[in-house]
Structure 1
């Protein structure tokens, strides 16, 4: 279980020399150096006197919770925003002023945002060479020259991708490489990568980190933004931490732990311990026997008891989400049985699943979990509209508002007004609204598919605190995650899926996390 409590001053201020903030290497000129960077939006200080520097060829991590100012400072460096008066920005020791996106590109600054901003219907070569044509006068396209430029860049990265393939046909990992290649076409010297591994498997992540190391060896500086702290500590030499729009410090990653970095980012202490529960006598809520669906999953059998959190982990493509979709009635298994409270059920649709007391939080919060343009309130009540009808069969404003208020209070969602668009919320608060939507259905079984994707470490602790509370109240929970520490510290039992089958079962505490990681990544 994860506990968070307020802490005092940071380790570097407590006299711990191993964590003292470090500046750029003495005697060397930083590639980029910022001082006194502030930004105000509508009277709110998004950044306050922040400093930042990165050396040529360095891999630096920019870390902090959602809303700490990471995106704001990247957009200032990229020329999208202008800092407040008094800011100092130096490139190669020379002052830069009047920065805009075009000038930033000329200076060799490139940003690869999480959405990648690629053209899905265009080919790999066209996407990579797109940067070469920005601002150029209209002319016939030289496809031979375009393909040659793309081929050279991919060779430099040490990868092979068919230049004629449309980007829509590529995997997420391949699209990441195309986005990196596009940045290099314009002779990038500094590349920002925003959550580049969020949707990648372990093997794909390792391949991407190798490309980052290759860029560093070529003298290209990379600023890595990621909530996956293990990757940060593996690939970066320093980490700059922001909190609430302020500069906390820049620290060496050597000797840094994930726990300590989390404390620096949040200002809180996190104590990690496995769950200590005895549920052997609790009634079985979900029982699955021999469930199969072609190549997606086969012969899956499992039980989840009342109040139990069952973790399911494995590499991407193991069949975890496919299993979850069948348990929620979105797809039909071809063999096997599903029982809720001992009664066999047939799920022809998600409506059948909801009536049976099953709720499902998808890993794709933006596309499947929420309707982004709609309000916070509308998203909260979307799954229980029938329960809000009055005698005239119209939605009762009183019932609706009471339900919205109740769940916002229970889940401690930080909002402006319920009528604000749900897209205005941070990732962690959006995920709480998704939970509220399904908890309003009063489920017996809650399926959580990668519930913390794109959610920062502080918000994760809050979400898991909610999950633990729901389990303590008797809800059965199926927790799917490819992040093994998540299931290790938050599940009572863990199942390992590979190639659509359950190949291992573990009890946290009785098995080490390292043992599970070895099995999963073998």
Structure 2
């Protein structure tokens, strides 16, 4: 890709960017949120057609102005937001074989469903994924949906495979399975373009690296020639100091308590408490039940039960509405589907949970008050957006997450729950989010921080619970434990 430039209303997204990938090698494409890496790949995928510059494969210029153009040239993309790329009411097999379902199996007008599911099963077997091909996609976990998307790409012959944050929802075992597949594809001559904010992973799987910042190319090199701190420096344009904030705080009395929380086989008799001013980590592998527990506490699961107490008083939480009225806030894992209104403006999103504060006489919303409150949050949170009127869908992942968190800051809740808040977020935006969480605790709020990243749990929490198979299996003081011990309990083990 040579001298690629593209603009959107109010922002120049890419400025004369050069990018080169090689067949049979994995190329890391990284940068802070908003750097332009996803935009560059959307140009390559034919999602944007109003760019300037040229694209060549094997030295010959090709025309890519639509997704069909990209696929015809052997370019396949697995995007980070899996729910936007899958059809939930179709089966796993139908989603994997989507292209052939649409165009007919082998040129025939009629589809042989048995053959379709057999071929889909063969692909799943190849990448080691155990998901029934006739199961509906809407019944899958986030990790399973990600693997279905990857399986779909493998089902079609591709010369270059773009993976946008593919490991974000995956467990370590699933990640290793993905890496084995990537190595297989590399050996077959497929070029891999790997977008990830997990720097250690890049060294495991990638050969080359391109770093972007503010819509421009910063550096291209072999990844083995760079150390992690050098990569972070080029991403941010500054040295990364103190990833985790050291905010002096002293936990007070118990502010929030949950007893015997249950949700079928997802959450089994969970008990926990959080002191005022305390950050409590919720650790566990993907699928351990962390998300399900957060949803149960927030009233987002109709089958959940249990007892909740705020400052010793019983709470009735049968819905998210009652949770918010009771002083609870949740920043969910799937931000685009559950955390923000992607088609609405930044201002609408930031004020959505506190509209009563901007209503004149309790009836009419004041646009002036809304805009003022949103503008202050945009400034204080460092949300990169052309204006408060820009649609959230046009923001980078990290800035979308800041919006998802920011709306709860205006509510001034008593208990804040964060479910994988830094998934798909760059190191700079991660630090901003950690700072926000620490500030909430410093204000005396109760904070529950769920993450499968053990380094995060160790860096941000004061105390933690470990989940395994839907149960809280251990409570630990962060100062007296380590990642090895947490991992031991996360995998169902126990000290010998």
Alpha-carbon deviations, 1:133-178, whole Å to 9, x = none?
Answer: 7778985235276566546645554556555555445544444444
Moved over 6 A (4+): 133-138, 332-335
Q: Of 217, 222, 245, which aligns to 1:247?
A: 217
**Pair 333,284 (structure 1): closer, same or farther in 2 beyond 3 Å:** farther
3-state DSSP of counterpart to 1:436: helix
**Greater shift after overlay, 406-415 or 488-497?**
406-415
Which residue pairs with 2:99 in the alignment? Answer: 131
2:403 matches 1:438: no
Q: Distance in 1 between matches of 2:450 and 2:56?
A: 45
Which residue pairs with 2:74 in the alignment? Answer: 108
Q: Distance in 2 between matches of 1:334 and 1:80?
A: 41
Q: CA deviation at 1:422?
A: 3.0
Is residue 330–residue 350 contact of structure 1 (8 Å, CA) maintained in 2? yes
Which residue pairs with 1:46 in the alignment? Answer: 13
Structure 1: which 5+ residue stretches go unaligned? 1-33
Q: Of 107, 110, 123, which aligns to 1:141?
A: 110
**Greater shift after overlay, 234-243 or 36-45?**
36-45
Is residue 194–residue 225 contact of structure 1 (8 Å, CA) maintained in 2? yes
2:445 matches 1:475: yes
Q: Distance in 2 between matches of 1:160 and 1:321?
A: 22
Q: Distance in 1 between matches of 2:324 and 2:153?
A: 46
Q: CA deviation at 1:62?
A: 1.1
Q: Of 356, 361, 376, which aligns to 2:331?
A: 361
Q: Distance in 1 between matches of 2:139 and 2:304?
A: 28
Alpha-carbon deviations, 1:230-257, whole Å to 9, x = none?
Answer: 3222221222111112222223333755
Which one has the largest radius of gyration?
A: 1
Q: Distance in 2 between matches of 1:207 and 1:354?
A: 40
2:349 matches 1:379: yes
Which residue pairs with 1:490 in the alignment? Answer: 460
2:28 matches 1:58: no
Q: Of 454, 461, 472, which aligns to 1:502?
A: 472
Is residue 55–residue 64 contact of structure 2 (8 Å, CA) maintained in 1? no
Which residue pairs with 1:210 in the alignment? Answer: 180
Q: Distance in 2 between matches of 1:481 and 1:161?
A: 24
Q: Distance in 1 between matches of 2:397 and 2:410?
A: 20
2:60 matches 1:95: yes
Q: CA deviation at 1:282?
A: 1.8
Which residue pairs with 1:350 in the alignment? Answer: 320
**Pair 313,177 (structure 1): closer, same or farther in 2 beyond 3 Å:** closer
TM-score (norm 2): 0.85
Q: Distance in 1 between matches of 2:20 and 2:363?
A: 61
Q: CA deviation at 1:47?
A: 2.6
2:274 matches 1:304: yes
Q: Of 36, 43, 57, which aligns to 2:3?
A: 36
> Aligned runs of 1:85-484 on 2, under 5 Å?
87=53, 89-92=55-58, 94-100=59-65, 101-115=67-81, 117-132=85-100, 140-141=109-110, 143=112, 146=116, 150=120, 153-154=123-124, 156-157=126-127, 162-254=132-224, 256-272=226-242, 282-331=252-301, 337-391=307-361, 393-397=363-367, 399-484=369-454
Q: Distance in 2 between matches of 1:386 and 1:365?
A: 23
Alpha-carbon deviations, 1:382-430, whole Å to 9, x = none?
Answer: 2223333333643344544443344334333333333333333332232
Count of residue correspondences: 487
Which residue pairs with 1:78 in the alignment? Answer: 45
Q: CA deviation at 1:361?
A: 1.8
3-state DSSP of counterpart to 1:270: coil
Q: CA deviation at 1:274?
A: 6.0
Q: Which of the two has greater helix per residue?
A: 2
Is residue 250–residue 277 contact of structure 2 (8 Å, CA) maintained in 1? no
Q: CA deviation at 1:220?
A: 1.6
**Pair 378,506 (structure 1): closer, same or farther in 2 beyond 3 Å:** same
Q: Distance in 2 between matches of 1:468 and 1:80?
A: 39
Is residue 251–residue 277 contact of structure 2 (8 Å, CA) maintained in 1? no
Q: Distance in 1 between matches of 2:325 and 2:410?
A: 13
Q: Distance in 1 between matches of 2:478 and 2:326?
A: 30
Q: CA deviation at 1:458?
A: 1.9
Q: Distance in 2 between matches of 1:393 and 1:130?
A: 48
Q: Distance in 2 between matches of 1:498 and 1:347?
A: 25
Q: CA deviation at 1:494?
A: 2.2
Is residue 282–residue 305 contact of structure 1 (8 Å, CA) maintained in 2? yes
Q: Distance in 1 between matches of 2:326 and 2:87?
A: 42
TM-score (norm 1): 0.81
Q: Distance in 2 between matches of 1:394 and 1:483?
A: 44
Q: CA deviation at 1:208?
A: 1.9
**Greater shift after overlay, 424-433 or 164-173?**
164-173
Structure 2: which 5+ residue stretches go unaligned? none
